[in-house]
C-alpha cells in the first residue's frame, strides 16, 4: 500500500508531460516565414535580410530552440562521436586508456560514448549494436575474455564504421590496432626474476583465446629457454586472471611437493594481489621465500606490503595514440585506410615483492 506522503505528493505535483522539442518549423510558423529562411539564419548563411535574421534569432531564443547537432552532423556524413567498449571500466588500465582517448578527442570537438562489456560476449555484441544505432563515426574496442566469435565487429565495419582495436584484439580482422609488446615485457619480467635468484617460476596465465595472454605466455617460455630452465607444466596454471582465481592457483602451487619460489601473474595485478594475500596468510616471506610479479601497474601495487613488481603499459599514452591514429588516418578522405598495428613497449617496474637481492627500486 502506498504511503500517505506518496499519495499527497502525487496529488500536489501531478506527472508532467515532457515538452516537445522546438523545431525550425515552430519558429517559421510563429513568424509566418519559410523553414528554409529560418534554417539559413540559424546557420549564419547569406541571403538573409539582417532584420529578419535578428527576429529569427530572438524568436528562437524565446522558444528555447536547441540545434539538433546529431541531425546536422549526419547530413554532413559525420556525427563527431566515437564509441569506446572496454571489458571493465573500474580497472585502472582501461579507465586510463579512456582518459587518454578523451583528452585527444576533446581537443578535436568529438564526444565519447563509453560502454562496458563486463567480460561478457553477449554484452559486447549489444554494445556494438547500440553504437551502430547511435551512428558513431568510430568504435574503439578491447575484446572481452568470453567469446571467439567476432562477426559483430565485422558487422560494424560493414556499416561503414571505422574500427580500432586495442590491447585485446582479433588478429584475423584487418583493422587499425594499438597494442603492447606483451611477449617482450614477459621476457623482461622472467629475466628479472631469474637474475634475482629465483629458480622455479610459476606462471598464472589468462584465457588462451586472447592474443595478449598467448603472447605473455610465449615470453615466459622464451625466457626460461634462454636460461636453460626446464619448463614444468605443473607450474603453469590456466585462467588465473582474477584475484580469486589467482589466490586459488597460489594455494594449489604452494601445496606442491616442490613448490615454486616465484609466481608471475601475467594476467593482472589483481591476480598478483591474490598471490600476495595467500602468501601472507601462509606466513611465507615475500620476496625472500616467494617472488611475486604482476601486470598492469594498478595503483594499489605501490601501497601493498610489500609493494608489487609489475609492468606499466602506459595506458594514458595508449589512449592518446588510439585517438590520434583515428584523426591521422581520416585526414585524407580520398585515400583508403590501410590496416596497421602500432606497438607500445611496456616498462617493468621493480618493487619490493621481487627485490630478493636488495636491488634499489
pLDDT at 97: 98
d(CA 46, CA 65): 21
Q: Quote the pLDDT of residue 4.
A: 38
Spatial contact of 288 and 72, defined as CB atoms under 8 Å apart: no
CB 48 within 8 A of CB 55: no
SS (H, E, C) 290-315: CEEECCCCCHHHHCCCCCCEEEECCH
pLDDT of residue 333: 65
Burial state string for 264-278 with b = 16 or more CB within 10 A and e = fewer than 16: bbbbbbbbbbbbbeb
Phi, psi at 265, each rounded to 5°: -85, 85
> Smallest Cα–Cα separation from 146: which of 29, 237, 241, 66?
241
Q: Hey, what domains does the chain have and what are their CATH numbers?
A: 4-64 (1.10.260.40), 77-180+315-343 (3.40.50.2300), 182-313+348-354 (3.40.50.2300)
Per DSSP, 79 falls in state -
Sign, Cα dihedral of 98, 101, 107, 109: negative
> Which secondary structure element, helix H or strand E, spans residue 100, and what is its range?
helix 92-107
Name which of 177, 153, 154 is nearest 167 in CA terms: 177
pTM greater than 0.85 (yes/no)? no
Per-residue pLDDT, 309: 98
How is residue 156 written as a grid cell? Answer: 560494424
pLDDT value at residue 241: 86
pLDDT for position 120: 95
Q: In sequence order, what are the beta bridge partners of 84?
A: 114, 140
Residues 241/206, Cβ–Cβ less than 8 Å: yes
As averages over each run of 10 residues, the pLDDT of the chain (361 residues) reads: 38 51 80 81 77 83 71 61 95 96 95 96 96 94 92 94 96 95 98 97 94 96 97 95 95 97 97 98 97 97 97 98 95 76 97 82 43
* The pLDDT of residue 361: 43
Amino acid at each position: 500500500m502506498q504511503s500517505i506522503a506518496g499519495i499527497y505528493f502525487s496529488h500536489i505535483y501531478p506527472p508532467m508531460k515532457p515538452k516537445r522539442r522546438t523545431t525550425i518549423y515552430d519558429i517559421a510558423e510563429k513568424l509566418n516565414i519559410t523553414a528554409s529562411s529560418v534554417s539559413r539564419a540559424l546557420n549564419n548563411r547569406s541571403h538573409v535580410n539582417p532584420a529578419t535574421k535578428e527576429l529569427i534569432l530572438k524568436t528562437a531564443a524565446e522558444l528555447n530552440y536547441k540545434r539538433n547537432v546529431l541531425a546536422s552532423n549526419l547530413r554532413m556524413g559525420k556525427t563527431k562521436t566515437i564509441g569506446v567498449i572496454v571489458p571493465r571500466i573500474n580497472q585502472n588500465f582501461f579507465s586510463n586508456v579512456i582518459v587518454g582517448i578523451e583528452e585527444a578527442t576533446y581537443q578535436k570537438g568529438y564526444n565519447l560514448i563509453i560502454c562496458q562489456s563486463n567480460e561478457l560476449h553477449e554484452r559486447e555484441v549489444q554494445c556494438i549494436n547500440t553504437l551502430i544505432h547511435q551512428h558513431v563515426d568510430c568504435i574503439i574496442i578491447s575484446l572481452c575474455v568470453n567469446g571467439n566469435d567476432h562477426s559483430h565487429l565485422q558487422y560494424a565495419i560493414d556499416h561503414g564504421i571505422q574500427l580500432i582495436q586495442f590491447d585485446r584484439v582479433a588478429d584475423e580482422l584487418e583493422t587499425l590496432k594499438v597494442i603492447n609488446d606483451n611477449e617482450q615485457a614477459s621476457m623482461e619480467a622472467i629475466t628479472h626474476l631469474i637474475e634475482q635468484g629465483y629458480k622455479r617460476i610459476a606462471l598464472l596465465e589468462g584465457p588462451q583465446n586472447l592474443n595478449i595472454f598467448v603472447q605473455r605466455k610465449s615470453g615466459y617460455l622464451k625466457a626460461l629457454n634462454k636460461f636453460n630452465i626446464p619448463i614444468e607444466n605443473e607450474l603453469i596454471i590456466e585462467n588465473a586472471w582474477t584475484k580469486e582465481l589467482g589466490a586459488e592457483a597460489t594455494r594449489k602451487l604452494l601445496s606442491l611437493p616442490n613448490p615454486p619460489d616465484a609466481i608471475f601473474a601475467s594476467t593482472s595485478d589483481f591476480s598478483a594481489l591474490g598471490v600476495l594475500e595467500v602468501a601472507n596468510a601462509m606466513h611465507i616471506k615475500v620476496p625472500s621465500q616467494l617472488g611475486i610479479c604482476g601486470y598492469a601497474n594498478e595503483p594499489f601495487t605501490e601501497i601493498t606490503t610489500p609493494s608489487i613488481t609489475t609492468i606499466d603499459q602506459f595506458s594514458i599514452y595508449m589512449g592518446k595514440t588510439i585517438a590520434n591514429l583515428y584523426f591521422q588516418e581520416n585526414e585524407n578522405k580520398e585515400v583508403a585506410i590501410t590496416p596497421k598495428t602500432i606497438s607500445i613497449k611496456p616498462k617493468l617496474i621493480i618493487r619490493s615483492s621481487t627485490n630478493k637481492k636488495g636491488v634499489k627500486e
